[in-house]
Amino acid sequence: MKFFLDNYYKNGQLLNNHYEILKLIGSGSFGMVYLCRDVRENEIRVVKQLRTSKRIKKDGLHLFTNEISILKKMNHPNLPKLYNSFSLKKNYFYVMNYIEADNIDDQIFSHNKTFNEEESLSTFSKLLKMVDYLHNQHIYHQDLRIPNIMLKESEPFLIDFGLAKDMSKTWQNQRGEVEKMKQQDYYDLGDILLFLLYTTYSTRNKKALPWTEELTLEQETVYLLKRLLGIEKRYDTTSEIKADFKKALQACRKQN
């Protein structure tokens, strides 16, 4: 039986005679992420490497190449930009732009950042526009979580497309599956919105209560959340969500 150890590249090493490693900035179950300098363009880039232990499994390599193909399709200022992909000594890499920001998870738990109702709705709206852009290309993220959202001066950037699905070639034959994926992204958006709203909540009761009782929100925001989370009739389109979002934002601003 063969055991594969993941190869970490060291600071100062040059990948593909192109990218000088400055430091390792992330390490997950799927891959390692390096902050690099593009020595040809003198620009800072992010290079992601597939773990050796994942490479030897067909599904691991497939997910990695699938992520690359999805990144190639995207052209949006708040989504990753793919610059290059290559292999080196049987290791696989791709290169993206660098976003100099912390993810929302770190900002909340390490820096005590909070979002009031209007700020939460504003961030939600920007995320919704990104999801709408993706869905129009038949791409479904499937992993919308606060660790996968970078926040730079109140501007969110969506990252990590490792679990994303490109249904552009099969959506007509798999409408049921596509609908499930769409609803998963909608649900995750609702979950993110609810999470942001909870950042200003301070526990007063020892007994846990439903969010509808713990949070003091505008009626329109509650309705928006209930439909996103499937408590009320689910949304069919992002245009429906946008319409209810506008009502929630207007109600929120009237109170301020």
CB 150 within 8 A of CB 140: no
Is 143 catalytic? The answer is: yes
Element (H, E) at 38: strand 31-38
Give the whole-angstrom CA distance, residue 185 versus residue 187: 5
Name, in order, each residue with C-beta under 8 angstroms of 67's C-beta and a sequence gap of 6 or more: 94, 161, 162, 164
| Per annotation, catalytic residue among 102, 105, 106, 143 | 143
DSSP code, position 2: -
| Arithmetic mean of pLDDT, 92-109 | 95
pTM exceeds 0.75, yes or no: yes
List Cα–Cα distances, 92 to 66, 101, 166, 194, in angstroms: 13, 26, 21, 37
Segment 110-148, tens digit of pLDDT: 999 999 999 999 999 999 999 999 999 999 999 999 999
Segment 235-250, tens digit of pLDDT: 999 999 999 999 999 9
| Total residues found in the chain within this entry | 256
* Residue linked to tokens 């959506």: 171
Tokens standing for 65? 């190449």
Query: What pLDDT is recorded for position 2?
Result: 41
Query: Mean pLDDT in the chain?
Result: 92
| Confidence at 56, pLDDT banded by 50, 70, 90 | low
Using CB atoms within 10 A of its CB, is residue 80 exposed (0-12), middle (13-18) or buried (19+)?
buried
Answer whether residue 5 shows pLDDT above 60.
Answer: no
